[in-house]
């Protein structure tokens, strides 16, 4: 869950994941958005209804192997980027000359598709993706893009791509490009993990995703090393006195200085605008006249920016778990505070409704909430044993609670984790927090949160000092007794960042673009429901098509709801636009 100024989702990776994608509360550098849809499962965990695992072990696991990164969407969960231009849809992006002239050479490059290797450490690690039903194998390649789109003839960098070819090549529509949120989520590692949710769409599309610049194998942003990150994520992110405030500020400064030292040359060039321009080059290189796109969490903001820059190139597009493009950084964070609070209340009401089957103390949602607040306060004073020699701190517990609220499927893990933590065992909540932060069971971190920080801070102008942050805390506490203070202190996340931000809110107006189906979920914690309507209005008349899902969790298409799935499939596969205002229950 984000703890900083953008409200973007990061977890969400995404990637079931993005307030803005990842995009829930996260470490101080998460800078907002959560991207995942649904969130990554803690490593080693069986599906939530399979019962507890064996014993504690390392990465998200539920006592021992019980919390596993189920392969999907990162979290995540998300909003926006480095402007090298004023953002006009037909503009030259600051590089001079026409789009055709700028992209002529790179647009004709031939991709060398090869069998996919195992994900890199920056992508989260793991094994090479298995073949799809019918034996289709995943293919990977690299695409050259300008390092700086303002200097398109200059130095290039490589973006990592992955694809699985359409089953029916004779009736193939083209490529369907996915961004699962974050920002900072690896599409190369997420798409194979989530592919079963999109297998119907592979009937007529090549499924394609990528690691955006700064992410995974695509010139990844690097900050602190793994042992330093363990300490950083365990810190007290809700300081109570001047000494703790200084320590918190110093830790943020140390993190941002490490990012500058290790990736300073790349930091000005990550961001949503550049990623959108990369996607249009990708469209050309893949041989498509139009960009067919599925954006989740922060991926909806990226898609909106693309539509603004290239409205004439928009093909069939779907935005799910929608970031509110009209929200400033602080408004997005406040929205997430309310969203996660709503999700927790729904979780507590469900627990109470199950009577004696609920493991948590309390006969009302308010009593369960107070139990959690009391647990947070105890952990702030004294952490409890977690995994190995690592303890569960208040910060990690809050992060783990948020992670489990990304999907109703994980509510049993949350209930169990809270019950065990109350008894002195913090393994499960720590595992959930690790999943949010991209830590594997070997103690290695992906670059999810480093990329999340870099993209958020180059996108958003807002910088909050200690004094300004403290002045806003009452609003956050009112928005959420559980998550508010944590998200409020996160406003300082970009305060020490070495690169200035570029906007207050992104421009996603896209007059003349093809219809874009925009799906809002009434129970979404990371990208509150209101964001979908705001996106529809911002895209402009005749472009955004609003679809509502009355459900729980981050995202709707992978929820199992047939109404949502049918509406999306009919549009993407057959071009049938659903009636705007459709409600799925």
- Please name the residues in contact with 27: beta carbons below 8 A apart, sequence gap of 6 or more: 3, 232, 233, 237, 395, 399, 437, 449
Instruction: Give SS3 for 432.
Output: helix
Structure letter (DSSP) for residue 34: B
Q: Which residues lie across from 296 on neighbouring strands?
A: 320
Reference 138, options 113, 159, 156; nearest CA is: 113
Catalytic residues: 297, 524, 554
Measure the CA–CA gap between 480 and 336, rounded to whole angstroms.
Answer: 9
Query: What does residue 495 show for φ and ψ, rounded to 5 degrees?
Result: -60, -35
Tokens of 208: 């394609």
Query: What does residue 98 show for φ and ψ, rounded to 5 degrees?
Result: -80, 165
DSSP H or E stretch at residue 235: none
**How large is the greatest C-alpha to C-alpha distance in the chain, in angstroms?**
69
DSSP string, 498-559: SS---BSS-----TTPPPEEEEEEEE-SSS-THHHHHHHHHH-TTTEEEEEEEEESS-SGGG
Tokens of 432: 């959930």
DSSP string, 395-412: HHHHHHHHHHTT-GGGHH
Instruction: Give SS3 for 177.
Output: strand
Helices (H) and strands (E) in the chain, counts: 16, 12
- Please name the residues in contact with 34: beta carbons below 8 A apart, sequence gap of 6 or more: 1, 2, 8, 9, 10, 11, 12, 13, 14, 17, 18, 19, 20, 21, 22, 23, 24, 26, 75, 76, 77, 78, 181, 182, 297, 298, 336, 406, 526, 554
Measure the CA–CA gap between 484 and 482, rounded to whole angstroms.
Answer: 6
DSSP string, 367-397: HHHHHHHHHHHHHHHS-EEEETTEEEPHHHH
Query: What does residue 546 show for φ and ψ, rounded to 5 degrees?
Result: -85, 130
Tokens of 142: 């690299």
Reference 438, options 69, 20, 18, 57; nearest CA is: 69
The answer to whether residues 65 and 39 touch, using CB atoms and an 8 Å cutoff, is no
Tokens of 395: 């910060």
Could you write out the three-class secondary structure of 345-357? HHHHHHHHHCHHH
Q: Where are the beta strands (DSSP E) in 244-313?
A: 291-296
- For residue 223, give Cα distances in angstroms to 329, 436, 484: 23, 17, 27
**Cβ neighbours around 473 below 10 Å, total:** 16
The answer to whether residues 252 and 246 touch, using CB atoms and an 8 Å cutoff, is no
Instruction: Give SS3 for 585.
Output: coil
């Amino acid at each position: 869950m984000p703890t900083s100024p953008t409200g973007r989702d990061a977890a969400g990776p995404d990637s079931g994941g993005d307030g803005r994608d990842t995009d829930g509360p996260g470490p101080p550098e998460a800078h907002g958005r959560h991207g995942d849809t649904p969130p990554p499962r803690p490593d080693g965990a069986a599906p939530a209804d399979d019962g507890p695992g064996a014993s504690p072990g390392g990465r998200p696991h539920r006592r021992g192997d019980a919390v596993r990164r189920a392969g999907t969407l990162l979290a995540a969960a998300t909003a926006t980027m480095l402007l090298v231009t004023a953002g006009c849809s037909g503009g030259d992006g600051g590089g001079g000359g026409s789009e055709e002239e700028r992209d002529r050479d790179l647009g004709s490059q031939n991709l060398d598709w090869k069998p996919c290797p195992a994900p890199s450490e920056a992508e989260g690690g793991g094994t090479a993706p298995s073949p799809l039903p019918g034996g289709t194998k995943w293919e990977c390649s690299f695409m050259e893009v300008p390092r700086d789109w303002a200097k398109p003839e200059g130095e290039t960098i490589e973006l990592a791509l992955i694809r699985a070819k359409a089953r029916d090549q004779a009736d193939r529509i083209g490529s369907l490009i996915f961004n699962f949120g974050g920002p900072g989520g690896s599409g190369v590692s997420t798409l194979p993990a989530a592919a079963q949710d999109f297998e119907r769409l592979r009937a007529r599309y090549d499924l394609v995703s990528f690691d955006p610049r700064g992410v995974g194998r695509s010139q990844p942003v690097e900050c602190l090393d793994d042992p330093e990150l363990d300490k950083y994520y365990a810190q007290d992110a809700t300081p109570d006195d001047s000494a703790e405030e200084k320590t918190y500020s110093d830790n943020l400064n140390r993190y941002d200085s490490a990012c500058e030292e290790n990736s300073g040359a790349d930091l000005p060039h990550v961001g949503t605008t550049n990623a959108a321009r990369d996607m249009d080059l990708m469209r050309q290189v893949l041989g498509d006249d139009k960009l067919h796109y599925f954006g989740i969490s922060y991926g909806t903001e990226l898609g909106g920016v693309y539509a603004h820059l290239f409205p004439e190139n928009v093909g069939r597009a779907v935005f799910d778990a929608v970031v509110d493009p009209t929200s400033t950084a602080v408004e997005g964070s406040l929205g997430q505070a309310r969203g996660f609070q709503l999700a927790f209340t729904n979780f507590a009401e469900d627990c109470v409704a199950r009577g004696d089957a609920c493991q948590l103390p309390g006969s009302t949602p308010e009593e369960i909430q107070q139990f959690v607040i009391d647990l947070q306060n105890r952990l702030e004073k004294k952490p409890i044993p977690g995994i190995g020699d690592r303890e569960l701190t208040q910060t990690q517990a809050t992060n783990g609670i948020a992670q489990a609220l990304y999907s109703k499927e994980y509510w049993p893990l949350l209930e169990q984790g809270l019950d065990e933590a109350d008894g002195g065992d913090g393994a499960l909540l720590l595992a959930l927090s690790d999943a949010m932060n991209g830590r594997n069971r070997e103690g290695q971190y992906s670059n999810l949160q480093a990329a999340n920080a870099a993209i958020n801070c180059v996108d958003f102008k807002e910088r909050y000092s200690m004094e300004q942050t403290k002045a806003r805390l009452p609003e956050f506490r009112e928005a959420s007794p559980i998550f508010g203070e944590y998200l409020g202190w996160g406003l300082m996340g970009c305060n020490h960042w070495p690169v200035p931000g570029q906007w207050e809110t992104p421009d996603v107006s896209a007059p003349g673009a093809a219809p874009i189906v925009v799906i809002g979920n009434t129970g979404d914690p990371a990208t509150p429901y209101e964001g979908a309507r705001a996106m529809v209005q911002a895209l402009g008349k005749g472009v955004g098509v609003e679809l509502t899902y009355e459900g729980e969790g981050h995202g709707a298409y992978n929820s199992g709801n047939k109404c949502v799935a049918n509406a999306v499939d009919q549009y993407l596969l057959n071009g049938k636009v659903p009636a705007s205002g459709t409600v799925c229950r």
